[in-house]
Amino acid sequence: MPRRRPRAAPFVALGAFVTLALVSSAWSARTGWTERRSGALLLLAVAGSALAAASAARPEAVRRILEALVAAAAIVALLGLYLLWVSHEQAVQSASVQYPARYRGIGQNPNTVPLLLALAVPLTLWLWTEARARSRKALVAGALLLFDGSIVASGSRGALIAALAGAIVWVVTLRQPWRLRLALLAAAATVFAADVAITQIPKPLSPAAVHGASGPHRVVKDAELVVPLEDELGRPGKGAPPIRRTLFGTSGRARAWDGALHQIARRPVAGFGFGTEQFAFVDRYYGFDSSVPENSYLGVALQLGVVGLAALLVLLGALAAVAVRALRTLTGRALAAAQACASVVVAGVVLGLTQSYLTSPGNLASSTFWIAALCLPALAAENV
């Protein structure tokens, strides 16, 4: 029997991107930080590549890897519920005049854990179809409900949209009658609409309630307390109503993205160095609360310039090409695993539009994305 190996193109593209990240320490604005972050990216790339090499043309091995990713996401979600039980203040972000109270579980903010859970949703759908025993199906269905409920409670719109995108790809690629797929798409759309409606129920605090709770008026001579620099740009004038978070609002991201583009223009070719996103970007935008622009592609352009962004897009394109080939040629369990991995890739790419995570090795969602993505060339392995 001939030996099999994963298709090489995605790994060559990944190697080129990691090499660029490592070399960027030569011109980085923070050399030590770039060396540490690029080293962590290298470790993630090596681990993902090793898993892909070990599971080449072995659908059962890939299945175990994907099951482990779902189990890890379930543990994170359950730990969030435990924290909610023992400390409501730590598990829930308090409401403000712009935002309602939002569940964050064990995450740093309400968007941290939903990144991981959004990628786990299509994997859980695949795992449910693969389950044979009723008890196992019930367990997987419970995990799916936990993931969806946690995302809804967090109010993370980007995670909801990414989970929907992953579910759509999973349904569309199923080799089932078109009527069944249409019914599943309708069910996914219905769940999404219900989730969105639920996220609109909690309301932010009213300005009157905030002012009433602050006690009697007194003169404050600290400008940072009255008009903080982090809310300097786009702040409504005196007497204007506060900006409220809406379903289709950008939560200040549009202004932040515009600012990031202007910053990219300062070093358009090679950027400020890998891992320097939070230092190159400065948040002074009203309604926006983050140290990064919350867009993976703008974040890469900040760190590695248009050269780095092009390298990332080539890598994603190579993975997409392998995914299309796998979906066309594979059968049986190998095809089912490829459908799950392709769904994660699409969900992750969509999620990258609203969150800076794709090239952050310490982020659980980043690890989940790249491990699942690199399983695609392992499933589409070729003869040596």
At 231 the pLDDT is: 52
Position 142 confidence tier, pLDDT thresholds 50, 70, 90:
very high
pLDDT in tens, 335-365: 999 999 999 999 999 999 988 899 988 888 9
Indicate whether 212 belongs to any domain.
Answer: no
pLDDT more than 70, % of the chain: 83
222 inside domain: no
User: For 319-339, how does the pLDDT look when each residue is reduced to its tens digit (9 = 90+)?
Assistant: 999 999 999 999 888 999 999
Residue 224 lies in a domain: no
Give residue for tokens 């029997």: 1
Residue 1: pLDDT band (50, 70, 90) is: very low
Q: How far apart, in whole angstroms, are the C-alpha atoms of residue 336 and residue 121?
A: 15
Selected residue with higher pLDDT from 228 and 122 = 122
Q: In this model, does residue 244 exceed pLDDT 60?
A: no
| pLDDT (0 to 100) of residue 310 | 97
3-class SS at 232?
A: coil
Higher pLDDT, 137 or 260: 137
Residue 248 lies in a domain: no
Predicted confidence band at 286 (pLDDT cuts at 50, 70, 90)? low
Residue 198 pLDDT: 92
Return the higher-pLDDT residue of 182 and 249. 182
| Confidence at residue 204, expressed as pLDDT on a 0 to 100 scale | 76
Domain encompassing residue 127: 4-204+289-383
Give the tokens for residue 172.
Answer: 């569309």
Residue 72 inside a domain? The answer is: yes
pLDDT tens across 37-86, in order?
A: 999 999 999 999 999 999 988 899 999 999 999 999 999 999 999 999 99
- DSSP letters of 136-205? HHHHHHHHHHHHHHHHHHHT-HHHHHHHHHHHHHHHHTS-S-HHHHHHHHHHHHHHHHHHHHHHTSS-PP
Q: Identify whether 228 is part of a domain.
A: no
Q: In this structure, is residue 200 part of a structural domain?
A: yes
pLDDT at 171: 95
Handedness of CA 135, 136, 140, 146 (dihedral sign): positive
Question: Where does the pLDDT of residue 17 fall: very low under 50, low under 70, confident under 90, or very high at 90 and above?
Answer: very high
Mean pLDDT over 297-315 rounds to 95
pLDDT of res. 256: 79
**Residue 261 reports pLDDT greater than 60:** yes
* Predicted local distance difference test score (pLDDT) of residue 201: 85
**202 Cβ contact partners less than 8 Å away, ≥ 6 residues apart:** 95, 100, 101, 102, 155
CA angle 206, 210, 214 (to 5 degrees): 165
Integer CA distances (angstroms), 292 to 37, 238, 269, 356, in order: 15, 28, 20, 7
Lowest mean pLDDT among 30-39, 87-96, 138-147, 306-315: 87-96
Using 50, 70 and 90 to split pLDDT, how confident is the model at 240? Answer: very low
Domain assignment present for residue 221? The answer is no
Q: 152-181 pLDDT, tens per residue?
A: 999 888 999 999 999 999 999 998 899 999
Give pLDDT tens digits for 205-233.
766 555 554 455 555 555 444 455 555 55
Please indicate, yes or no, whether the overall pTM of this predicted structure exceeds 0.75. yes
Looking at every residue in the chain, the average pLDDT score rounds to 85
Q: Are 355 and 156 in contact (CB under 8 A)?
A: no
The reported pLDDT for the residue numbered 304 is: 95
Number of domains in the chain: 1
- How far is 288 from 230, CA to CA, in rounded Å? 8
The answer to whether 345 and 369 have CB atoms below 8 angstroms apart is yes
